Amino acid sequence: MAQNMRDIKRRIKSVSSVELITSAMKLVSAAKLRRAKATFEKTTEYFHFITDSINEIFNNASEVPHKYLQGSREIEKTCYIVITSSKGLCGSFNSNVIKEAAHNIQTETGEAAIVAVGTKGRDYFKKRDVEIISEYIEPPENISFIATREISRPIIELYDKGEIDKVVLVSTMFINNLEQRVRTQQLLPFIIEKDPDVIRVEREIEYEPSVDEVFNYLVPKYVEIVVFGAIIESATCEHAARRMAMESATDNAREMLSDLSLFYNRARQAAITSEIIEVISGSEAQK
């Protein structure tokens, strides 16, 4: 009985230490989430304005270079930009993105290559011998637009050379603090979506110095902006997921402490009762 009580006390001490750690990590994640969410909210309106403007140009222009349009080439090799974190303890945040990317690779025909943002995605696909074109392993919240340009530029160059035929972004979309969803977005070739219900005013557009020059500038900028926005959004989702995971872990630890305290009190009561019975039995034996 004494040995059982000592084991329970050791477990209580161990779980208490875990509860303190997870509680502290929850507070840290909550603070980081507030900062990341503020950055995301400041930039999202700006990014949406730019991407919507570029989308409008693509969808309204009749002279988009053929190489950037869906159906312009046979898809033999697809590049997946996979945005995960470089740390764990964030629930299913990383696994959901990796599963989505792996599913796309399995279902798509042709070869696949990865541009990994975050070590979790890089490590997963490297172990499975998927080609890693490039990687960015710094924390997503620390990324700059210049760093995003360094990520995106080689992808555009490979696409222009014909070494890759499709670019797909797999990241996490922020819904609210409690919900995040995996998003798959095809960046290249561009899918023109003509809405038949929209009345378009035909107007002549002049491109200087040329159509190719304009779109050769716009397309890389579009990819850079979308990737940068996705990384900022993914950082927000990561901190939200980690805060939820640490809150759940803290609640579980406290529930376990309550159960262990109950077991300990029962064992202690049983030990006291046993000692009382022994004392009474010894007293009666001496009569």
Check residue 195 and give its pLDDT.
Answer: 53
Query: If DSSP codes are grouped into helix, strand and coil, which group holds residue 221?
Result: helix
**Which of 121, 209, 104 has its CA nearest to residue 167?**
104
The predicted-structure confidence for 70-82, as pLDDT tens digits, reads as follows 777 888 999 999 9
Q: Determine, yes or no, domain membership for 76.
A: yes
Alpha carbon 103 to chain centroid, angstroms: 16
Q: Determine, yes or no, domain membership for 122.
A: yes
Q: Determine, yes or no, domain membership for 263.
A: no
The larger pLDDT score, comparing residue 205 to residue 140, is at 140
Cis ω for the linkage preceding 189 (within 30 of 0): yes
pTM (2 d.p.): 0.83
Q: Determine, yes or no, domain membership for 225.
A: yes
Q: Taking all residues of the chain, what is their mean pLDDT, rounded to a whole number?
A: 84
User: Six-digit token pair at 154?
Assistant: 């080689």
Helices (H) and strands (E) in the chain, counts: 5, 5
The percent of residues in the chain predicted with pLDDT above 70, rounded, is 87
Query: If DSSP codes are grouped into helix, strand and coil, which group holds residue 168?
Result: strand
Query: If DSSP codes are grouped into helix, strand and coil, which group holds residue 287?
Result: coil
Residue 179 φ then ψ, to 5°: -140, 130
Q: Please check the confidence at residue 197 and state whether its pLDDT lies above 50.
A: no
Task: Give the span between the Cα atoms of 232 and 252, in whole angstroms.
Answer: 31
Check residue 244 and give its pLDDT.
Answer: 93
Q: Please check the confidence at residue 122 and state whether its pLDDT lies above 50.
A: yes
Q: Give residue 150's domain range.
A: 62-192+206-238
Q: What is the CATH number of the domain that holds 174?
A: 3.40.1380.10
Task: Give the span between the Cα atoms of 23 and 249, in whole angstroms.
Answer: 8
The predicted-structure confidence for 47-61, as pLDDT tens digits, reads as follows 777 777 777 776 666
- DSSP 8-state secondary structure symbol assigned to residue 200: P
Residue 234 and residue 83 in contact, taking contact as beta carbons nearer than 8 Å: yes
Q: Which residues contact 137 (CB under 8 A, 6 or more apart)?
A: 86, 118, 119, 122
Residue 150 and residue 96 in contact, taking contact as beta carbons nearer than 8 Å: no
Q: Determine, yes or no, domain membership for 117.
A: yes
Domain tally for the chain?
A: 1
Check residue 285 and give its pLDDT.
Answer: 66
**Which of 116, 119, 115, 117 has its CA nearest to residue 88?**
119
Query: If DSSP codes are grouped into helix, strand and coil, which group holds residue 192?
Result: coil
Q: Determine, yes or no, domain membership for 172.
A: yes
Q: Determine, yes or no, domain membership for 29.
A: no
User: Six-digit token pair at 45?
Assistant: 């309106």
Q: Determine, yes or no, domain membership for 147.
A: yes
